[in-house]
C-alpha cells in the first residue's frame, strides 16, 4: 500500500484570533513506548488549561482522546481525565484532525519492520486519513508507519540514527536528506527522538492552533532558570496573595442568602464594585447574569427539598425566596422541563406518610 504525498509545504501557523477547533487522536499500540504517549497527554492537558483560562467563554478549541486498533485495550479509561479526554462536539474535517503515532519499542531494526506489518489495520487507517487530507504526526520509530505508506517520499525528515540505514534500505523513495530533529510539512510532521516529544507536540499545537500556545506550553513544562530567579525575587513584595474577585464575592453571597430578595445594588456593595462592572464581569466569568444565577441556585434548592422533604410547593417556594409560588412554578418548569409535582413523583427519596415506620423511639417517648 503506497500513498504519494502531494503539494507538500511547510505547516503554517494559524494567526486567527478565533481558533479553529482541533481534535487530536493519540494512537496506542501494545508496542508503543508509553512515555511518548503520556508526554503528549501532558502537553495537551496543559494547552487545554491555558486556552480555557485565556478564553473561558469560548468553546474549547482543543480536544483529545486515545484511539486503539480493534482488540487493543487503551492505556487509560475515557473517564480518567473527563475534562480533556472527550470527543469534539461534532466530527471535525480531516484537516482539523491530527493522528499522533507513538514511538515504538523494538529489539532491533528488523523487529520494527515486523511491528509495522503486524498492524495492517493501522496502515489502512493512516492511509485513508491521509487520502482525505488528514493530519498525521509520528514520533521516533513510529515514523516507519508513514515511510511504509510512502508518506515521507516528499516530506524530508531525519530517521532515528539507529534505524537510519534500515529505513533508507527498505524505503528508498523516502526523503531522509536532513539531520533536523523535527520536520513539519503541510499534512505530515515527524520527531526524531522520544525525548523531544514535549517540544514536538507543543510546536504542532503552535502551528495548528496559535503560535502563542507553543511558547506558553514550553514555559510551563520546561525548566526556566531565569524565570525561577525572577519569580523568587518578586515573591512577597510584588507577587502577593490574590484577593477574592468581585464575582467570587457575589456568588458566595448569593449562595448564602438565596432566600433574600434580589437587589443588584446590595450585591454590588457586597462585591465591592459598581453594578455595571459586576454585571459585565459576572457574565464573563459565570456565563449568565447574577439574577439568572440566583434563579438557578433556587431551583436546585427546590429540587433537593422536593426529593427529601414532604413540604408542599408553597412552603418550598417561600424557603427559596419566592412569595409568589405560581411565578416560581413557571420558573421551575422552564428550568427542569416538568411541573414540580411531576418532578417530586419521579425523583422523591422520601416515602409518603402512610408508609412511615419509626425504627427507634425517642428517649422522651420511652420515659413516658
Q: Give the closest residue to 290 by CA, choosing from 273, 314, 306, 315.
A: 273
Q: How far is residue 128's CA from residue 149's CA, in Å, rounded to a whole number? A: 11
Q: Which residues contact 198 (CB under 8 A, 6 or more apart)?
A: 39, 42, 43, 217, 218, 221, 222
Q: What is the pLDDT of residue 6?
A: 29
Strand partners, 321: none
What is the fold, at CATH topology level, of the domain defined by 246-353?
A: Arc Repressor Mutant, subunit A (1.10.10)
3-state secondary structure of 310: coil
- Top pLDDT among 195 and 60 is at 195
Q: Which CATH number fits domain 22-221: 1.10.3720.10, 1.10.10.10, 3.40.50.880, 3.10.450.30?
A: 3.40.50.880
Query: Which tens digits make up the pLDDT trace of 99-142?
Result: 999 999 999 999 999 999 999 999 999 999 999 999 999 999 99
Is 48 in a helix, a strand, or coil?
Answer: helix
Q: How is the chain split into domains, by residue range? A: 22-221, 246-353
What is the predicted pLDDT for the residue at 173? 93
- Only one residue has cell 505547516, namely 11
- Write 78-81 long-range contacts (CB < 8 A, 24+): 81/41, 81/45
pLDDT at 186 over 50: yes
Separation of alpha carbons 270 and 105, rounded Å = 60
Burial class from Cβ neighbours inside 10 Å (0-12, 13-18, 19+) for residue 201 reads: buried
- What is the spatial distance between Cα 321 and Cα 259, in angstroms, rounded to a whole number? 4
Q: What are residue 183's DSSP bridge partners?
A: 190
The pLDDT value given to residue 1:
40
Amino acid at each position: 500500500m503506497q500513498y504519494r504525498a502531494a503539494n507538500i509545504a511547510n505547516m503554517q501557523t494559524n494567526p486567527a484570533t478565533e481558533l479553529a477547533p482541533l481534535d487530536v487522536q493519540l494512537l496506542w499500540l501494545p508496542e508503543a513506548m508509553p512515555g511518548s504517549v503520556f508526554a503528549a497527554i501532558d502537553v495537551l492537558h496543559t494547552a487545554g488549561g491555558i486556552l480555557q483560562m485565556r478564553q473561558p467563554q469560548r468553546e474549547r478549541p482543543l480536544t483529545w482522546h486515545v484511539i486503539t486498533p480493534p482488540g487493543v485495550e487503551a492505556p487509560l479509561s475515557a473517564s480518567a481525565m473527563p475534562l480533556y479526554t472527550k470527543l469534539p462536539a461534532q466530527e471535525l474535517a480531516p484537516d482539523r484532525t491530527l493522528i499522533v503515532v507513538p514511538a515504538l519499542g523494538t529489539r532491533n531494526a528488523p523487529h520494527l519492520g515486523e511491528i509495522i506489518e503486524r498492524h495492517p489495520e493501522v496502515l489502512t487507517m493512516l492511509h485513508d486519513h491521509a487520502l482525505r487530507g488528514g493530519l498525521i504526526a509520528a514520533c521516533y520509530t513510529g515514523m516507519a508507519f508513514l515511510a511504509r505508506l510512502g508518506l515521507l517520499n516528499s516530506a524530508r525528515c531525519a530517521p532515528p540514527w539507529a534505524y537510519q540505514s534500515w529505513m533508507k534500505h527498505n524505503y528508498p523513495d523516502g526523503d531522509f536528506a536532513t539531520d533536523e530533529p523535527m520536520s513539519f510539512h503541510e499534512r505530515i510532521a515527524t520527531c526524531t527522538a522520544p525525548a523531544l516529544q514535549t517540544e514536538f507536540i507543543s510546536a504542532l499545537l503552535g502551528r495548528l492552533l496559535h503560535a502563542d500556545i507553543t511558547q506558553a506550553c514550553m514555559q510551563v513544562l520546561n525548566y526556566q532558570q531565569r524565570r525561577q530567579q525572577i519569580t523568587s525575587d518578586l515573591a512577597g513584595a510584588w507577587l502577593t496573595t490574590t484577593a477574592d474577585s468581585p464575582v467570587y464575592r457575589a456568588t458566595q453571597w448569593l449562595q448564602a442568602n438565596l432566600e433574600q430578595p434580589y437587589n443588584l445594588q446590595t450585591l454590588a456593595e457586597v462585591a465591592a464594585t459598581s453594578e455595571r462592572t459586576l454585571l459585565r464581569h459576572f457574565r464573563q466569568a459565570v456565563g449568565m447574569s447574577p439574577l439568572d444565577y440566583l434563579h438557578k441556585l433556587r431551583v436546585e434548592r427546590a429540587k433537593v427539598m422536593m426529593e427529601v422533604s414532604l413540604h408542599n410547593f408553597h412552603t418550598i417556594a417561600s424557603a427559596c425566596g419566592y412569595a409568589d409560588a405560581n411565578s416560581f412554578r413557571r420558573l421551575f418548569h422552564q428550568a427542569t422541563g416538568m411541573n414540580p409535582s411531576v418532578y417530586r413523583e419521579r425523583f422523591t427519596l422520601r416515602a409518603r406518610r402512610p408508609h412511615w415506620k419509626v425504627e427507634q423511639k425517642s428517649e422522651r417517648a420511652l420515659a413516658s
